[in-house]
Chain A
Amino acid sequence: MVNAAYVVVALPLLGFATNLVFGRRLKEPLAGWVGTMAAVGSFVAALITWVTMLGKPADQRVANLNIFTWVPVAGLHVNAGLWVDPLSLTMILFVTGVSSAIHLYSIGYMHRDPGFDRFFVYLNLFLFSMLVLVLADNFLFSFLGWEGVGFCSYGLIGFWFQRETAAVAAKKAFVTNRVGDVGFLIAMFLIFDHFGSLNYRNVLGTLVGGHPVGLMAGAPGAIPGSTATAITMLLFLGAVGKSAQIPLYIWLVDAMEGPTPISALIHAATMVTAGVYLMSRVAPLLHYAHATSWVIASVGTGSAFLAATIAATQDDIKKCLAYSTVSQLGYMFMAVGAGDYADGLFHMMTHAFFKALLFLAAGAVIHAMADNQDMKKMGGLARFMPLTTICFVAGWLAISGIVPFAGFWSKDAVLDSVWQMNKVLWAIGAFTAGLTAYYMSRQVALVFMGKARWSEARPEPVGAAVSGHGASVHSGGDHEVSEPGLPAPSHAGTPHDAPWTMSLPLVLLAIASLLGGGINFSAFGHFDYLSRFLSPIFPYATAITLSSGTKWALSLVTLALCLGGLGLGLRTWRSAEHPALEPVFLRRAWFWDAVVSATVSGPLRAGADALAFVVDGRLVDGFVNGVAGTLALSGRVVRKLQTGYLRTYAIGIGAGLIAFLAYITFRVGS
C-alpha cells in the first residue's frame, strides 16, 4: 500500500480543483468541509503509507513512485515522481496531520468571510505544494513545490488584499523568498553540472555508495569540498529565505497580516519547515561541506538568540509568536549544522504541534477580543476562555521546554548535539531557551492573567498598539480593529471560547504538545523511535557520544534556565508596563528591518528606477516599439502594392518569374 502516497498528493489537489471550480456554488460550510476532508484523507493516506513502510525491514523502507516523465530532454531526465522514505514519511505525517487540524479550525475562523471558498482553494493548494516539496524524488520537482508554497503564501498572506498592509506584506514575503530561491536555482545548476542528474537517488546515492535505503548502489564517490560547499551554501540560502533565518527572516513577521490559520499553517506545518527539510535531504552533501555546517549552526544559533530577544519586547500577540518561530527554527538549524538531523526533525515536529496550537489559540483570543492583537490590552482572559487558556498553557509549557512537554525533549536533544559540536553555541542556545520561557511567560501573563485591560480598551477605535516592528514597510501601530471581510464582532459581551470547529483542533494539538515527545526520548535509552526510523537515511549523521551523566547535567541546566525564565516572566508581567525591559532597539527588531527598508528604498530603488525607466522604458521598449513601428510602416508601404488591379498582380507574378529566370541564367550549365 505504498501507493497510498499517490493519494497523499492527489487528495489536496483534488480538493483544490473542486473548490476552484465549484467553490462558489458549494457555499460556505461545504467548501470548507471539502477542503478539510481532502486534508484529513491525505493524512489517513499518509498513515497508511507509513504503516506499510513500518512493516518492512528498516533498510528497505523506500519506494520511488513515478507519476509521469516531466522533462525528457536529452541528458536531463526529470520525472514527476514521489520518493517515499523515512524522511519524507516523517514530513508528510506531521504536515498532513497539523494541516488537517488547521483546516478544521479555519471553517470556524473564516466563518462568514466573503472569500471563504477562495481561502480553502489556497489552503489545499498550499498543502499540495508542500507535499510535492517533501515527496518529490528530485530537486526540480521539489522546487516546483517550493515555488508553489511561495506562491500560496503570497496569496494567503495577502488574503485580505483590500488592506494595504496585507498586500505589502504578501509582496514582501514573496520577494524575500525569491532571494532565497535564486540560491536554490543556482544550486540545482551546480548539482546538474557535477552529478549530471537532479534525482535524489542518483545525486545522493553517488555520495553514500548505496548504503542508505534506496539510494543507488555503488562505491561512495567523493565530491570536492569546494563544490559541496558551494552547492550546500546556495541551498542554505534558499533555506534561509524559506525558513526565515537571519538575514531573510523579515518576511515572516509581516506575514502576520494573513488570517491567523495561515500564520499557523506557515509557521507550523508548511513553508518554514521546508528549509530544514531541504538541508536534511542533502545531508550526504553536507558531510563534505564542513564550512556550510558551521555556517548553518551559527546562523541558526544567531537567529534563535536574536529572534528571542525581539520576541521578548513585542506587544502584538502574533508578532511575538512569529519571532518565536524564527527562534525555534534556529534550533532546528543548530541541530542540522551539528549533523544531528533526526533531532532537528524531531524538534520540527514538536514545534509544529505547539506552534500550531499557540497560533490557533491566539486566533481564538483575537477572535474573542474583536480582532485586537495588542497583548497590553488583554489580560485576565483565563476566567472567560478556560478551554483556550488550558490549551495555550500546554503550548506555552511545551515551547518553554518544561518536563514532560514535547518541547523539552526535542530542545534537549538539539542542545545535546550542539554541546558536542561547540560549547559556545550551546551556551547561547541554552540561554535562549531560558529567554524563550521568559517571553512566552510574559505573553501568558499579559493575555490570560492579571487584570482585564480589554474592557476599557475595547471601545477604542484603532488599536493603538505600539508594535515596535517594521518602521518603514508598515509602521507600527496600524493594526486595524476589524479585519475586512469579517463581520462586526457579534459577541459584544464578554469573551468566550470558540465554536467546536475551532476548539477541537486546539485540544488535539494540546494533547500532541503534551505527549509529542514520546516519539523520540533520545536522551534516555531505547525510546528514540524517530531517530532509529530516520537513521538509515542519515549515514553520516554525527553520533551523540555524550555520557548519560553529561546529558543529565545538560538537561538539568537547561531546565533550570527555562524554569528561571518562566518564573521571571510570570512574576514581572503581572503588570503591563515595564519600559526598562523593552528597549527600543529590541522593539524595533535591532533595526534590521529599517536598514533593509532604507537600502531597498534608497540606492536599490534608485538603481531599479534607472533600470525600469531608462533601460527598460527607453532602451528596451524603444527598441521593441521601434521594431513594431518599422514593421507597421513597412506594412503600410508594401500594402500599396495590393492595388486591387489585376494588372498589378499580373506584373507582380511576372516580376517574380523574371527574377527567378534571371537567377537561372547564372546557373545554366553548372
Chain B
Amino acid sequence: MNGPTSAAPHLVAAGCTINEVTGRITGLCTSKGSVHIAINYPALVPLLVLGGGALVVLFFSAVLPKRPYRGLWAGLTALAGTGTVADGLLQWQQLNGSSVTPVTIGDQLFYDHMGAFFVVLFGAATVLGAAISDGYLEREGLDGPEPYVLMLACSLGAVLMADAAGFVTLFLGLEILSISLYAMSAYHRWRAASGEAGLKYLILGSLASAIFIYGAALIYGATGSLQYLGVVSFLADNALFQNGILLGGMVLVIVGLGFKVAAVPFHFWSPDVYQGAPTPFVGYMAAVAKAAGFAALLRVLMLALPTLTSTWRPIIWVLATLSIVFGSVLALVQVDLKRMLAYSSISQAGYVLIGLQAGTAQGVQAVAFYVFTYTFMVIGTFAILGVLQGRGEARNDLSAVRGLATRSPWLAGAMLVLLLGQAGVPLTSGFLGKWVVIQAVLGQGQYELGLIGMLGAAVAAFFYLRVALVMFLAPDGAGAAPSAALTLSSAGGPGAATVGGESTGGEGDGGPGWAAGRPGGYLGSDLHAIVTAGLNARDKALALRPPPHSRVRVPAATAAVIVLCVVFTVFAGVSTPVLSWAHAITLPWSV
C-alpha cells in the first residue's frame, strides 16, 4: 500500500506535514478549528462489532431471566463473529479496490491486507469457539453469558494485537486477550484443575506481560517512539552509537510474545493450562492466542525492527528449533490427550516460527496461511475431544478415543482427518502449511531449519497416528469383561475412566498437580500395551458392538463445527484458494 495519501488539501496547515507514503500526519493539523486525527472507520468496525457484541450479551444477560433460551449466548457470539468475518472480507475488498492509508487513527492501528486476513481468522475462530462451547457448557452445567463475553473480548484483544501499529496498542490488545483467557481457563467452577490452570496462566502471563512492557519501554528509550513507524524511521535516519538498549528491548518483546505463542522455553504454562482449562476454550485459545501472538511478532519484527533482522533471526531460529524438538519429543510421552495436544501445538508453533524466521514477505504469507489452517484443525480436534471426554472431562487419556471407529465411525473419520492434517499429511491443509513455511525458509538458504522441520514432522506423525491407531482399535481393553465395553463407552460420570488392562499410570487423573513427577505411561510399554490389548480383545470385541445408547452424542452446533473444520482442512489442502489468498498478503511497507 504505497499509494498517495487521500488526505484532503484543506488539512494542510502550518506545522502540519503529511507523509505521502504512509499517510502519517505529524504536527498539529487543524480542520475547522479542531485537532484532526485521520480515522479510517472501516478499520474500526471489527473492534466495534466484537466489543458491541460483548456489551449486547451483557445487556441481555441483565434483562433476561437466568436461563432464557438454549444457545442464545452462543448464537449472539457467533453472530458477532460472523459479522467480524464479513467485515474482514469487506476490508479485504476495499483494500484491493483503492489505495488506502495503511496506518490510521493517529498511527495506532494498521489497516492493511494482513490485518484484514487476521480479522477474518479471529472472527471465524469466535464463531467456531462459541458453537462448540454451547454444548460443552450445557453438559457441564455451566451455561451462562460470561464465557461468551470473555470470548468476544478476547477476540477484540486479538484483533487489536494484529492491527496494532504501536507498542501501546499492542500491549492493550495483549492484556485484553490475556485477561479474558485467564478467566476462561478458570471457568470450570467444579473442576479444581480448571482453577489451577487459570491461576498458573495468570501468574506466568503477568510475568510475560511485564517482560513485554519492559521491552517496549527499552525500545522507546532507544528510539524515542512507541510506534512501529516511528521506530523504523528513526532507525533508518539515525545510526545508534550504542544499540544495547534497543537489542535488549527487542529480546524482551520477543520473550513476551513468545510466551503468548508458547514457544520453548516459554511454553511451560501451556500443557498445564491446556489440560485444566475447559476443552472448547482450549481449542479457541490455541487458535486465537497463537494467531494473535504471531501477528504481533510479525508486525514488530518485520515492520518495526527490519533493520535488526540479522540479529533476531538467530533468536527465532533457536525458538523454532527448540519448539519443534521439545514439542514433538514431549508429545510422544503424553498419555493425556489434552497435554499431548498442548505439546503438539508447541511443535506447531515451531513451524510457524520457521516461516517467521525466513524474514521475507513469503515467510509472512506462509505464517498467515499456517495459522489460518491450524485454527480450523485445532478447534475441530478439541471439539471432538470435548465431546468424547464426557461430563466433567472425565476421560482425557487415550481411553477417550479407544474404539471410536466402532462407536461413531464418522467422528473417528473426522478426527482422523484432523490428526492427519496436524501431522502434515498430503491432501490436507497441514501439509501445505508445512510446505510453505519450509519453502520460505529454504528460500533463505536455511537448510538446517528446513531439515529440522521435516524431521520434526516425522516424529510428530507418530503421536498423532498413535491416537488414530487407538481410535481404530477394539473399543474394549484387554482382559476386561464384555460389560466393561459398555461402561467405557457410555457417558459415565467423573472418575469412570477405568481402562482395563492398560498401564497408563497416574497420568489420567485430570489435575495437572502441583507436585512433581508424573510416573506412568511412557512410549514403549504404553504402545506395546495398547497394541497387545487391542489385538487380544479384537476377536471378542468385533462380535460385541456396543449397544446404541453407548454411541457418542454430538450436539448439533458442535457437529457442524467438526464438519466445517474437516471440510476446510481437506479443501485448503487439495485446492489453492486459501493459499492464494494468503499469498496476496502484503505488508504496508516492503521489508
Contact = CB atoms under 8 A, between A and B. Distances in A.
Interface in B238-258: 242-244, 247-248, 250-252, 254-255, 258
Contact of A645 (B244, B314, B332, B514): B514
Interface residues of A, number: 33
B330 interface: yes
A644 B516 contact: yes
B235 to A, nearest CB: 14
Contacts of A640: 516-517
Interface residues of B, number: 45
Contact of A634 (B248, B252, B329): B329
A639 B333 CA distance: 8
B259 interface: yes
A635 B332 contact: yes
Contacts of B329: 631, 634-635, 638
Nearest to B328: A631
Contact of B204 (A653, A660, A669): A653
Contact of B252 (A644, A657, A668): A657
A122 to B, nearest CB: 25
A643 interface: yes
B207 A653 contact: yes
B203 A646 contact: yes
A648 interface: yes
B243 A632 contact: no
B268 interface: yes
A660 B243 CA distance: 15
B111 interface: no
Among B252, B265, B311, B512, find the residue whose CB has the most chain A CB atoms closer than 10 A: B265
Given A642-B271, A645-B514, A655 B265 contact: yes
Nearest to A635: B333
Contacts of B517: 640, 643
B211 A657 contact: yes
A66 B268 CA distance: 55
B204 A646 contact: yes
A638 B330 contact: yes
A664 B248 contact: yes
B269 interface: yes
A632 B204 CA distance: 28
Nearest to B269: A649
A386 interface: no
A661 interface: yes
A524 interface: no
Contacts of B330: 635, 638-639, 642
A635 B326 CA distance: 8
Given A635-B523, A638-B329, A656 B266 contact: yes
A644 B247 contact: no
Contacts of A641: 268
Nearest to A667: B311
A68 interface: no
Interface in A94-128: none
Contacts of A669: 242-244
B204 A644 contact: no
B27 interface: no
A650 B200 CA distance: 10
Contacts of B251: 657, 660-661, 664
B247 A629 contact: no
Contact of A652 (B211, B244, B248, B268): B268
Contacts of B247: 664, 667-668
A661 B330 CA distance: 26
Nearest to B264: A656
B208 interface: yes
A636 interface: yes
A639 B329 CA distance: 9
A666 to B, nearest CB: 10
B459 interface: yes
Interface string B255-286: 10011000001101101100000000000000
Contact of B255 (A639, A645, A657, A668): A657
Given A631-B459, A635-B333, A639-B518, A653 B311 contact: no
Nearest to A642: B271
Contacts of B524: 629, 632
A628 interface: yes
A645 B311 contact: no
A186 B252 CA distance: 57
Interface of B: 200, 203-204, 207-208, 211, 242-244, 247-248, 250-252, 254-255, 258-259, 265-266, 268-269, 271-272, 311, 314-315, 318, 326, 329-330, 332-333, 459, 462, 512-518, 522-524
Interface of A: 628-629, 631-632, 634-636, 638-646, 648-650, 652-653, 655-657, 660-661, 663-665, 667-670
Return the 10 tightest CB-CB contacts between A and B, nearest first: A632-B523, A649-B268, A635-B333, A656-B265, A643-B516, A668-B244, A635-B329, A664-B247, A660-B251, A635-B332
26 contacts: A628-B462, A629-B523, A632-B333, A634-B329, A636-B333, A638-B326, A639-B330, A641-B268, A642-B268, A644-B515, A645-B514, A645-B516, A649-B269, A652-B265, A652-B266, A653-B204, A653-B208, A653-B259, A653-B266, A653-B268, A656-B265, A657-B255, A660-B255, A663-B314, A664-B251, A668-B247
